[in-house]
Amino acid sequence: MTAKLVLEDGSVFYGESFGGQSSISGEVVFNTGMVGYPEAFTDPSYKGQILVLTYPLIGNYGVPGLEKDELGLLKNFESEKIQISGLIIADYSKEFSHFTAVRSLADWLKESKIPAITGIDTRALTKKLREKGVMLGKLIISDDVCFEDPNKWNLVEEVSTEERIVYNEKGKKRIVLIDCGVKNNIIRSLVARGFCVIRVPWDYDFSKEKFDGLFISNGPGDPKMCAATIKNIAATMEKGIPVFGICLGNQLLALAAGGDTYKLKYGHRSQNQPCTDQQTKRCYITTQNHGFAVDMKKMPSDWKEWFRNENDCTNEGIMHNSKPFMSCQFHPEATPGPVDTEFLFDKFWEMIK
């Protein structure tokens, strides 16, 4: 079935539909990773977005099964469902082969009712998004739809847990994890280090909880939509309790500290972003998925830049000069991507006395 992508600037790209049959609208963004589409598609940080994959051949290793680990989390996915609104690729591989595969990518997308188009010139599309910036778009499979900007509503509220959940009750150090759209491997990474993880909704008042540290997760959309989260983080910082954030958590920590954030032209979505530790000058290759960044020029004087992106010099992490507060913009838990910065979870453990 012929389908098309229409961008808000009037550009039209034609292709072939191979996913769900409903038309949708969203923010069109691109990811330059070569592998890891099952993990990427289920990353809650992609909520409201139409994802363009720059790697040309997609679907050749199928989709793994729904096995769960000892924590009750899906082993092969980063959440319970596909989070992207739609998918755009250059070449769909109908035949797949992998020892974990149980179904094709097309079948998974159809079951999840996620529209997808193949046959698009993704190089031309990505160049347009780099030059003009990410823009709204709509995948038209059947009926037309209106352009909608997902950044205008609270996407975090849509992906956060609705209840308090505890993992590893016997852990030696108790931490509250604010779920703004947390990836499964973040929870696994914390539990593997001995933490008892208390996972709470994005706006949950955890002031009466007994905990040794606070963790702020990744998530989608504009961080300024999370006013309740920012207020709770600030209250925790006033008590001097150790805080660690990842991705959206970096932005929320900055806002709670009195800083500011802004929207990037086209964001960082890939598995090969070079980031340098500003204290040691060592560069790490990281996996990323974010469209907003911290404005270091507006951070209070008692904060310093921890990491910096070597491609565009944007902020990739902040750290308080004297108190146990820190965060990174990239994903040390990977899935997909390199695990070069996984040691940051150990640093959080050591930070909690």
For the chain, the 3-state helix, strand and coil shares in percent, each to the nearest 5, are: 25, 35, 45
Q: Tokens standing for 133?
A: 């910036």
Catalytic, out of 247, 268, 275, 328? 247
Q: CA separation (Å) from 345 to 246, 274, 350?
A: 10, 19, 9
Catalytic, out of 268, 290, 320, 331? 331
Active site includes 331? yes
Q: Tokens standing for 254?
A: 């900055």
Within the chain, residue ranges assigned H as helices are: 37-41, 105-112, 122-132, 155-159, 184-192, 227-238, 248-256, 343-351
Element (H, E) at 31: strand 24-31
Smallest CA-to-CA distance from 51 within 84, 76, 20 is with 84
CB neighbours (10 Å) of residue 153?
14
Active site includes 67? no
Catalytic, out of 39, 78, 316, 333? 333
Active site includes 111? no
The residues annotated as belonging to the active site are 247, 331, 333
